[in-house]
Amino acid sequence: MSTSLIDLQKVGMTYEAASGPVEALADISLRVGTGEFVSLVGPSGCGKSTLLRIIAGLRPATKGMVEVTGEQVTRPIPDIGMVFQAPILLKWRSILRNVLLPAELAGRDAGKLRDRALALLDMAGLGGFAEKLPRELSGGMQQRAALCRALLLDPPLLLMDEPFGALDAMTRDDMALELLRIWGETSGARKTVLFVTHSIAEAVFLSDRVVVITPRPGRVAADIAIDLPRPRTVELRASEAFGRLNFDVFRALTGRAG
């Protein structure tokens, strides 16, 4: 990798609970290069979502150094797109106005970004739903709208926290392909993506690298390069290489020696 967009060095996070201090993350060192698609895989409660919020500057780390684009993160950083497990669309706004929300929050002229928002919705297969209310869309469609919202201001960095976790298996696989297409698998200017999931297959299918995190406190157990060809296709899931990489991640997760 040429330049690293995210640079974490010995990051730790301890919070106070009723029963005393809890160490959620310990000694996390990780670099993510510009344009890389990196997944964080780990069991529930391993602190991977916390790590994502630390990188976004939404929660402070209690130890170590966090840098994004060479600058130390001390407060929420702009120029990121965030997608959460729930779409969290505003119920009273049309899909289009939901997608335009970041512009309004950031004090930008939403009117000028209307065409871009519509183009994003088109790309996500929601062209006919711009004027609908969120409740009129299925869960998968709502999550695609949330992805469009994250992409509106064209952020170089996408932070995704189990974005497909609430979807059924088939919709989930479709969304993975959709995400790769939107990410720009076939074009030159790829965004950097940090993708939190607990699905091994999803992580392997999407990523350039899969970082395995073990729980309590969360530590980096393995950093596995996914040397599968792009663009990734459905057929890839049946390949031997895909199976082997899945098993590698599985082994790292469960701590079994090869």
Q: Contact residues for another protein (CB under 8 A)?
A: 53, 56, 58, 76-78, 80, 82, 84, 86, 88, 90-92, 101-102, 104-107, 133, 135
C-beta of 188: minimal distance to another protein in Å? 26
User: Which residue type occupies 142?
Assistant: Q
Q: Which residues pair with 223 in a beta bridge?
A: 211
Please identify, using beta-carbon distances, which residue of 97 and 219 lies nearer to another protein.
97
| Nearest-angstrom CA–CA distance, 126 and 148 | 10
| Nearest-angstrom CA–CA distance, 177 and 175 | 5
Please identify, using beta-carbon distances, which residue of 141 and 212 lies nearer to another protein.
141
Please identify, using beta-carbon distances, which residue of 153 and 177 lies nearer to another protein.
153
C-beta of 160: minimal distance to another protein in Å? 12
- Closest alpha carbon to 129 in 167, 232, 117: 117
| Nearest-angstrom CA–CA distance, 47 and 98 | 29
Q: How far is CA 60 from CA 10, 74, 125, in A?
A: 14, 7, 37
Please identify, using beta-carbon distances, which residue of 90 and 119 lies nearer to another protein.
90
Q: How far is CA 31 from CA 64, 87, 161, 196, in A?
A: 14, 28, 18, 15
C-beta of 153: minimal distance to another protein in Å? 8
Q: Is the distance from CB of 5 to CB of 13 less than 8 angstroms?
A: no
C-beta of 168: minimal distance to another protein in Å? 21
Please identify, using beta-carbon distances, which residue of 88 and 228 lies nearer to another protein.
88
Please identify, using beta-carbon distances, which residue of 93 and 181 lies nearer to another protein.
93
C-beta of 26: minimal distance to another protein in Å? 24
C-beta of 56: minimal distance to another protein in Å? 6
For 246, half-sphere exposure in the C-beta direction (CA atoms, 13 angstrom radius) is: 13
| Nearest-angstrom CA–CA distance, 173 and 179 | 10
CA dihedral 84, 254, 25, 51 (to 10 degrees): -20
Please identify, using beta-carbon distances, which residue of 45 and 243 lies nearer to another protein.
45
C-beta of 106: minimal distance to another protein in Å? 4
